[in-house]
Amino acid sequence: MWVLIAALGCRDAPERSAPRTEAAPRPAGTRPAQRLDRSAFDRALTELFGFDGGFAADLPPDETAFGFDNQAAALSVGAAHAEGWEAATLAIAAELLVVHDETTESWRVEGEGPGVSYAGDGRTLDGTSYLLFDGSITATLGLAADGDFVVEARVAGQEALGAPVLEVEVDGQPAATFVVTGRDFHTVAATVALGVGTHTTTFRIANPSAPDASPRRAVAVDRITLTGPTAPEVGRSPAWRRVVPCAPAGDPSAACTDEVLRTFGRRAWRRPLTEAELAWARGLVDRASAAGAGPDEALVTALRGLLLSPEFLYRLEPGPDVGERALDGYEVATRLAAFLWSSVPDDALLDAAGAGSLSAPGGLEAEVYRMLADPRAEALVDDLAAQWFDLRDLQLVAPDPGTYPDFDEALRASMEEELRHLTAGFFLGGRPLGSVLLADATLVDARLAEHYRVPVTGAVAGEVFTGRTGLLETGGFLTVHSRSDRPSAVSRGHWVLANLLCAAPPPPPPGVNQAIALAADEGSVRQQEEARRAEPTCQGCHAAMDPIGFALGGFDGIGATRTMDELGWPIDAAVTLDGDAVTGGAELAAWVANDPRLASCAVTQTLTFALGREVTPADAAAVEAITRRFTDEGSTFAALAVAIVTSPPFLRKAASTEAP
Amino acid sequence: MRTSRRQFLRAAGATLWLPFLPSAPGASAAAPDPVRRALWFYVPNGFLASALTPAEAGSRYTTPEPLLPLEALRSRATIVSGLRNLSDTAGERYGFGSHEACSASLLTDVPLPSNYYAGAPRLGTSVDQFAVQRLRPSTPYASLQLGTGEPWLHAGGNVDTYYDRLSWANDTTPLATLVDPRSVFGRLFAGADPAATAAELERRTVLRRSVLDAVHERSTALAARLDAADRQKLDQFTTSVRELEQRIEGLAAVSCAPPDEPAPALAFPDRLRAMTDLIVVALQCDLTRVVTFAAGTTTATTSFPFLGISTDHHTLSHNFAYAERDRTDYLRVQSWYVEQFVDLCLRLAEVPEPGGDLLSSTLVSLVSEFGDGSAHVASPMWGVTAGGESAGLRHGRHLATAGTPHANWLRAALDFLGVAPDGFGTHATGTLDLR
């Protein structure tokens, strides 16, 4: 949480400043080979094969540096990496080679049958069907093929003040609803797209009667069937057909194998393969054939070789030996895809790189706009925003259940949704950076609305006015920056300085009491904290941090509003920041939004992520130019992204002089 | 899709898992030398040496109250006190807290470089890797680095690595810690496929080897075109691939039954337990002989609701000097960690081996980066060494040293493993005698 990007000593801090970064042994503008971080590895494979991810699950956590997971210098490789990478390629190979048959699975619903479970109020009818009042029936179905499947159920209804409505969910997502009329068994059906694996289908009544009503609405279910795939997904998987279009049914010719190696190699290595590299890949096909692999498996083995090569697993930008050089089109495309998609370029971007259109006037701008409009750009929220705004920490906090009995996993999830939505407004929604701090309406669901004490009815999710202002008053932010049993003014203030203004105070000296034990009768929490930190050693930094946190004193450790602190004293949220009188979160947000450091800090953070390296004092001119363009053009993320990808640090690379 | 992928992983390898024979773990029967193993059990945020050190040295010591869980292991454990970590220097240089100086030097005895905030992380070889590189074990895993993934206070800058990497293969290669018990299970027991024929398994192995051979050719071709900084990264890659090749060979020789797969999303105490269960199995099955286990990362903010403690671990480690309640809780937390260590040792002791049990062939060390968490100082350092009686280690005592460099204690593990300790330890003056 301490980001020492522009590590400043604190005002009047005696004899103690943070270690400085100017002693960097590398010149500005270079970074070593950048290993794909977990997110990039997963997304790259998803891009190449169209799978649904999960490939990085068994890789070790990435090293973080400067607040991000993708910093080339820090990312290392240990024994577990080759293993995790190989396991992923073996899993992919297996899925490429599988031949899907049509699947039909059928479950009789009669008591506690295997694969079927019941919840809530219902009962078995004559041992042949199940009568549902307000509970649910869940059937777990295993599929061996991707495609469209028909979910069917045989049902009969019992009406009471209207017909029962039967909801069908597949894997927790609504799939269909049926109005069940008639007391005779009949079949209802819905079509859903499913992939290989295990799925759950759940049937429940959407409009149950009250438990004491008589008669009650009910639905009897006596059979659930899953048939498919109905679309022609039988045979080779879509992944195979995507990668080997010249032999969709398998058994590729030599020419087809060549074509696949060329096309797939270009996608995976983000540049065309040389003839020597193609010969190497072909050689792997031959080696596999000699080891007893058939044509399909031999080809897949060569694809595994391409994926396990450093050219896939690292972003390599060799040279120059001295001075600096411009990156070529493919290298720029690779950086673009890493920055905006946390992935590899798609064919369109590779084509643009090959045609030289990235270096044509307006070429980069056009790509940025195209890429930001693409769904893959959601990676910006998952990675850049999540790391910059520490959204992931929300999963790690553990509020003390004794102090905060209201906190539960549903609330945690709702808080996370709100934070993602708020940051997505800037990264994807075209809103200015200030909106993250100043938004007066956010995505609030019923659980969060209850927490915020704003009237929202039903489970409808949408943007509503919450009476709260932006990030600093979200439940998520406030919860993350609290101790487990009380809010932390220091943590809240420190985060704002470090992550929004790039003015992180240094860590505390040794031996200090970092969490002040509160006395019951010595004034408010704020007064006691101020008194304890009055000594000069503490005051230098805490004078900058604490007032920011005190302005948020009206929120407890899980972000609920409060008027009294934990000792029962009234909250005093009035502070002075750089001579400005500020009271409460809304004024604080306005103060931060008006601070000129906000824009340049946003540039530094985004540039650190985009380059995969530390932003050093040697980049100062570039940061300034990018900041000017960013603020001149409405402070939108698109403006920021364009300014970054057209800047020298993004397009050029200097020689490395670092000795190993 | 995740399910089928995992199922495949377990079906992909070259190993035929046979019914487990507890008395014949791998090489012990065949190898002329006795099997020796080492395990470091790291607890973050310090052991409070002043509260855990008995007043008396030797075997007739009275166990301090917070240390009572150790009584269950008393006859097989030695309390080591009074050690000094002489590589804990960056904190002094910068004048402020130095979790990272103490955690980074804990197993390396290498001080942080003077400008460690800049550039790529660099340190030195840790004791476990020093041993592995000289023993060149034939086990499928040369060593394992395991943890719990508990939250901690990321420092930002380029320094996080010094917080959460205890093991270093060399001065530029910190080793990642695996924190998900299911992922570790998947690693250790991948390749089990009772349905495949021996010929099919052999064919799969040959194909895997072909790919890795080809990948080596790529790195060799590439190395010529890269500068020194890139080559350093590529060296890590090449090593990682080579280790995988060795593992493919090694696993073919192991016969051991996989235990049940750990449940997903375990809460902290259960996750710690699951991981230590896997450590026992890994040692028992001779999948590895060297393990470092981190119960957390320095500055860990682990909470202990199961102990009825609401303050997080890092906060406790600072507050105990100021508030009696926090002091009590801080010591209760340390007692709890000692109990987990003891529990792991007793599980090792339950596994019979020729001439003893798994604990008697394993040197287990309980370590922490601080002797006083509030002051951020490593020394005097406090720890426990248990097991290893097969090499003549004597226990049941309190070994009170007077400022012996902690590297000497680390070197005792090298000595136990049969590795000449020369060259290890920036400040070592010898090897602590545990016999």
Kindly report, residue by residue over A478-529, the tens digit of the pLDDT: 999 998 888 999 999 999 999 999 998 877 666 565 656 677 788 999 999 8
Q: CA A129, A131, A136: angle at the middle one, nearest 5?
A: 105
Residue A459 has pLDDT above 60, yes or no: no
Helix H or strand E segment including B149: none
Q: Which residues of B touch A87 (CB under 8 A)?
A: 9, 12, 186, 190
Categorize the per-residue pLDDT at A27 as very low, low, confident or very high, splitting at 50, 70 and 90.
very low
Q: Distance (Å, rounded) from C-alpha A347 to C-alpha A193?
A: 26
Query: How confident is the prediction for chain A on average, in pLDDT?
Result: 86
Is it the case that residue A107 has pLDDT exceeding 90?
no
Q: Chain B neighbours among A 148-177 (CB < 8 Å)?
A: none
Q: Which residues of A touch B375 (CB under 8 A)?
A: 510-511
Pick from B12, B187, B233: which is nearest to A35 by CB?
Answer: B233
Chain-chain contact of B96 with A507 (C-beta, under 8 angstroms) = yes
Distance CA A323, CA A310 (A): 25
Residues with Cβ within 8 Å of A139's Cβ and at least 6 positions away in sequence, in order, are A107, A109, A115, A116, A200, A201, A224
Task: Say how many C-beta atoms besides its own lie within 10 A of residue A215's C-beta.
Answer: 10
Q: What is the DSSP string of B327-368?
A: HHHHHHHHHHHHHHHHHHHHHHHTSEETTEETGGGEEEEEE-
Q: What is the mean pLDDT of residues A4-16?
A: 39
Q: Closest Cα to residue B272, out of B71, B280, B188, B288?
A: B280
Mean pLDDT value across residues A122-131: 72
Percent of chain B with pLDDT over 90: 58
Out of B91, B177, B318, closest to residue A515 by CB? B318
CB–CB contact B157 A21 (8 Å): yes
Query: Does residue B414 contact residue B421 with C-beta atoms inside 8 Å?
Result: yes
Nearest to B8 among A25, A94, A511 (CB): A94
Please indicate if any CB of chain B lies within 8 Å of the CB of A526: no
Say whether residue A392 is in contact with chain B using an 8 A CB cutoff. Answer: no
Residue A198's pLDDT band, with cuts at 50, 70 and 90, is: confident
Q: How far apart are CA A340 and CA A337, in angstroms?
A: 5
Asked if pLDDT for residue A280 goes beyond 80, the answer is yes
CB contact under 8 A, B115 and A87: no
Judge: B211–A284 Cβ closer than 8 Å, yes or no.
yes
Q: Do A77 and B233 touch (CB under 8 A)?
A: yes
Q: Using a CB-CB distance cutoff of 8 angstroms, which residues of chain B are in contact with residue A301?
A: 207, 210-211
The verdict on a CB contact (< 8 Å) between B207 and A4 is no
A279 touches chain B (CB under 8 A): no
Lowest-pLDDT choice from A22-31, A193-202, A243-252: A22-31
Helix (H, G, I), strand (E, B) or coil at B118: coil
Cα(B192)–Cα(A371) distance, rounded to whole angstroms? 43
Please report, in tens digits, the pLDDT of each residue of chain B (435 residues total): 333 333 333 333 323 333 333 333 344 444 446 899 999 999 999 999 999 999 999 999 999 999 999 999 999 999 999 999 988 875 444 444 478 889 999 999 998 887 777 667 889 999 999 999 999 888 888 999 999 999 888 776 678 888 989 999 999 889 989 998 988 887 787 665 656 677 887 888 899 999 999 999 999 999 988 988 899 999 999 999 998 888 887 776 666 777 888 888 888 999 999 999 999 999 998 899 999 999 999 999 999 999 999 889 998 988 887 778 889 999 999 999 999 999 999 999 999 988 899 999 999 999 999 998 877 788 899 999 999 999 999 999 999 999 999 999 999 999 999 999 999 999 999 999 998
Return the H-helix or E-strand segment holding A623. Answer: helix A620-632
| Nearest-CA distance B379 → chain A (Å) | 14
Distance CA A306, CA A327 (A): 23
| pLDDT value at residue A533 | 82
More confident residue, A192 or B11: A192
Alpha carbon of A194: minimum distance to chain B alpha carbons (Å): 10
Mutate to test the interface with B, among A16, A21, A77, A387 (most CBs of B within 10 A): A77
Neighbours of A395 (CB within 10 A): 11
Pairing of strands B37-42, B362-367: parallel
**Tens-place pLDDT, residues A402-428:** 899 999 999 999 999 999 999 999 999
Nearest to B1 among A7, A26, A52 (CB): A52
Measured torsion, CA atoms of residues A150, A151, A154, A155, in degrees rounded to the nearest 10: -130
In this prediction, residues A260-278 reach a mean pLDDT of: 97
Residue B153 and residue A514: Cα distance in Å, rounded? 13
Q: How far apart are the first and last CA of chain B?
A: 54
Question: In Å, how far from its chain's centre is CA A613?
Answer: 21
Give mean pLDDT, residues A132-137: 81
Identify the pLDDT of residue B1: 32
Q: Could you tell me the CA-to-CA distances from B82 to B54, B111, B366, B371, B375 in Å, in that order?
A: 11, 20, 15, 9, 16
d(CA A551, CA A472): 10
Could you tell me if A514 lies within 8 Å of chain B, comparing CB atoms? yes
Which residue out of A8, A34, A35, A58 would a mutagenesis test of the B interface target, given it has the greatest number of B Cβ atoms within 10 Å? A58
Distance CA B180, CA B185 (A): 9
Which of A25, A283, A514 lies nearest to residue B118, judging by beta carbons? A25
Per-residue confidence (pLDDT) for residue A660, from 0 to 100: 38
Would the CA dihedral through B93, B99, B100, B105 be positive or negative? positive
Query: Which residues of chain B does A566 touch, with a Cβ-Cβ cutoff of 8 Å?
Result: none
Q: Encoding tokens for residue A229?
A: 């795939």
Query: In a mutagenesis test of the A interface, which of B218, B235, B377 is the best target, namely the one with the most A β-carbons within 10 Å?
Result: B218
Picking from A418-432, A510-524, A549-563, A608-622, which range would have the lowest pLDDT averaged per residue? A510-524
Q: Where are the extended beta strands (E) located within A120-185?
A: 122-125, 129-132, 136-143, 147-158, 165-170, 173-179
- Give the per-residue pLDDT at A101: 65
pLDDT for residue A267: 98
pTM of the model: 0.76
Counted across chains A and B, CB pairs separated by less than 8 A come out at: 312
CB A237 within 8 A of CB A100: yes
B70 φ, ψ (degrees, to nearest 5): -70, -20
- Given this model, what pLDDT does residue A225 score? 77
Q: What is the pLDDT of residue A505?
A: 84
Note whether B147 and B178 are within 8 A (CB).
Answer: yes
Mapped onto helix, strand or coil, the DSSP state of residue B79 is strand
- The answer to whether A590 faces chain B, any CB pair under 8 Å, is no
Q: Kindly report the nearest CA distance between residue A195 and chain B, in angstroms.
A: 7
Residues 6+ apart with CB under 8 A from A161: A209, A217
Side chain identity at B139, as an amino acid letter?
A: T
The DSSP secondary-structure symbol of B304 reads B
* Residue A184 clears pLDDT 90, i.e. is over it: no
Chain A hits for B169, Cβ within 8 Å: 78
3-state secondary structure of B154: coil
Interface list for A 607-636 with B (CB within 8 A): 614
CB burial of B410-424 (b: ≥16 within 10 Å; e: otherwise) equals bbbbbbbbebebeeb
The reply to whether A287 touches chain B by the CB within 8 Å rule is: yes
